[in-house]
Amino acid sequence: MRARAPLGPELPTGLLVLLAVFGTWGLWFIYRTSFLVGDERVFCLFDDAMISMTYARNWIEGYGLNWARDGAPVEGFSCPLWTFYMALLHLLPLPLRFQSLLVQLSSLVALMANVAVVFQLVRRHFGCQRASHALPAAILTAAYYPLDLWSLQGMESGLQALLVTLAVLLASDIAFAGRRRELPLFAVLTAAVLLRLDMLLPVATVCGFLLLRGGLGAPRLRRWLLGCGAIIGALLAYEVFRWLYFHDWLPNTYYLKMTGLPAGTRILRGWLVFRDFLAIAAVPLGLALLGSAALARRRPQYVLPLLIVTLQLAYSVYVGGDAWEWSNVGANRFQVIVMPLVFVMLGGLLNVALDRVRRRPGRELRLGPADLYALAPATLACLLLVDGLAGIDRADERRRNLLVLDAPLHVDLHRDTLIKLRKLERHFSPEARMLTVLAGIPAYFSDFRMADTLGYNDRYIARQQALLRLQSGDAAPGLRLPDLLAGRARARADGVVRLRAQVRRVGATRHGLPAAGARRRVCGRPLAGLTRLAAAGPPSRRLHRSRACSRSRRRRRSTWALHSGRGRRTRAAGGCR
């Protein structure tokens, strides 16, 4: 039986230095995600995270868990526990432009805790008698840019990674060290399934591993059954809440992601994006998986992380990957949560290699010059490979991203969106209903009643056929047919928001201000990210255009005919397509 190595004074000091450096880097990254709107600095999350922030804000302000502030509530978020935590943060007396900062700081704490857990996991269970170095795995975890980016921009990925790594640590303590860690383990697993429903995959893997490893003995089986009962009870309780509140058994995002495309097309798309992931991480990932599989019979502690990583990567392929694969991040949100376990396995393999080289009885376990010469190049090589910093396309861009020399992903879009939203607020009353593509930022930073074009928060749209890009050989799970959306959503909205739109006032009073209740048109070129603002009647009226604008964008007079049950009214408006 392998003797567990004592914690020496050098490596914990190295861990503290690493955490200090990583924390400083994380604070700088968070600052770089902020921007100025006028004279005010605004902290903003990734738009998907801002959807959850919108639910949290509306809940605290008395609208319930309702994204649109109007109509029946729809569960347009995939992370209940993270959304409820955001709601707690909104109880603090802070302006909206600072609320995202609290979420980012929370994610930074989760990432730093994950680095510490990785360190402890390698030291306890993946060390050898003559080599038990955990700092390389901790460095790789801290420097893994995709996990840092998704987490620090407000996604729940950092907390997911922490819960997965912590579950492996506690399960390994139970299975290989004989410690009684069932209570904290099942608390972690319960939090995981409440965080995201698809966390059931690693949770079930951990529970199955413990059952097979511990056998069916009465004392351990009783604790196992109680823990699994707590997990199932928490799931059933939330399912009852979901049905009573949202009148659905699954979140709306499930239908948006998993329906509308043939399963074969979705899996093919998942394989294509996984192949792009392998183009960056194939070497370290292959070494970790193959090396762990080779050692699994003699060192069973490699079995659990090997199973979790393999199943999670297969799940990423099954669901078709992520919607943001084009962003050159390096890994999607389904893959990054298990990459710390890959680094744990790599750290263990490095220890095995050093142990076989240094078979000298009686030598103390410490970080000497010989170890440093072996650890530093191996850690640097893995870092260059997993982050795609050398030898691949766009490596220079990835180096600039890691050093935060450029603004992080979509920060410019977030700023432009908020600037345009402020312009719209000067031309529309707060009770207006707006149609939008970016479902997070416009809904969170305004008081408009919102309508969603992509179906995150719309049951009807989420269940429609998905958009296929056959010419590029790419299918986009979660995107619905735009002509269907335009016809449905415009019938419900007073306006639609699009990036770089130019506001043209209609129905101004003699004082040059918009008349009460007057509708607006905003015209401009279509750009990805936001929808355009077009005039539309309320749901009880049918809106059609009787004369089209010139393709040469010359201003002409056009007539909008509004029909209702009470009669017909016609008015003229100037504009262009």
pLDDT in tens, 150-179: 999 999 999 999 999 999 999 999 988 888
Question: For 511-521, what is the mean pLDDT?
Answer: 31
- CB half-sphere exposure, 249, CA atoms < 13 A: 1
Residues 212 and 176 in one domain: yes
Confidence of residue 215 (pLDDT cuts 50, 70, 90): low
- Beta strands 495-496; 502-504: pairing state: unpaired
DSSP string, 165-182: HHHHHHHHHHHHS----H
Are 148 and 289 within one domain?
yes
20 inside domain: yes
Q: How far apart are CA 324 and CA 322, in angstroms?
A: 5
- What is residue 529's predicted lDDT score, i.e. its pLDDT? 30
Could you list the beta-strand ranges (E) of 352-416. none
What's the pLDDT at 61?
A: 92
- Record the pTM: 0.81
Spatial contact of 26 and 152, defined as CB atoms under 8 Å apart: yes
- Token output for 286: 């292959």
Residue 259: predicted pLDDT: 83
For residues 286 and 419, membership in a common domain is answered with: no
Domain shared by 79 and 144, yes or no = yes
% pLDDT > 90, the chain: 44
> Is position 70 within any domain?
no
Q: Which two tokens stand for residue 502?
A: 């130019």
Instruction: State yes or no: pLDDT of 388 exceeds 90.
Output: no
Looking at residue 518, its pLDDT comes to: 30
Per-residue pLDDT, 257: 84
Give the whole-angstrom CA distance, residue 143 versus residue 140: 5
Q: What is the DSSP string of 242-259?
A: HHHHHS-SS-HHHHHHHS
Neighbours of 244 (CB within 10 A): 8
Nearest to 522 by CA among 385, 428, 403: 428
Whole-number Cα distances in Å, 116 to 166, 182, 268, 414, 419: 10, 21, 37, 32, 40
Q: What's the whole-number average pLDDT of the chain? A: 78
The answer to whether residue 373 sits within a structural domain is yes
Mean pLDDT of 5-18: 66
Looking at the structure, tell me whether residues 417 and 374 fall in a common domain.
no
Quick one: pLDDT band at residue 341, thresholds 50, 70, 90? very high
Is the residue at 547 inside a domain?
Answer: yes
The b-or-e profile of 460-482 (16+ CB within 10 A means b, else e) is: ebbebebbbeeeeeebbbbbbee
DSSP secondary structure code for residue 409 in this structure? T
43 within domain boundaries:
no
248 and 156 in a single domain? The answer is: yes
Quick check: is 466 in a domain?
A: yes
As a whole number of angstroms, the distance between CA 519 and CA 496 comes to: 11
- Per residue in 413-425, pLDDT (tens digit) is 999 989 988 888 8
Q: Which domain holds residue 116?
A: 10-32+75-402
Point out the least confidently predicted range of 288-292, 337-341, 481-485: 481-485
Domain stops at, among 345, 377, 402: 402
Sequence-ordered list of residues with C-beta below 8 angstroms from that of 130, at least 6 positions apart, any chain: 354, 355, 358, 359, 360, 363, 365
Residue 332 scores a pLDDT above 50? yes
Residue entry with tokens 């989420």: 462
pLDDT at residue 458, as a whole number: 77
Is there a single domain that holds both residue 393 and residue 496?
A: no
Residues 462 and 375 in one domain: no
- Domain end call among 365, 385, 402: 402
- Residue 79 has a CB neighbour count (10 Å cut-off) of 25
pLDDT greater than 80 at residue 143: yes
Regarding whether 550 and 450 lie in a shared domain, the answer is: yes
Q: What is the pLDDT of residues 461-475, one digit of tens each?
A: 777 776 554 333 344
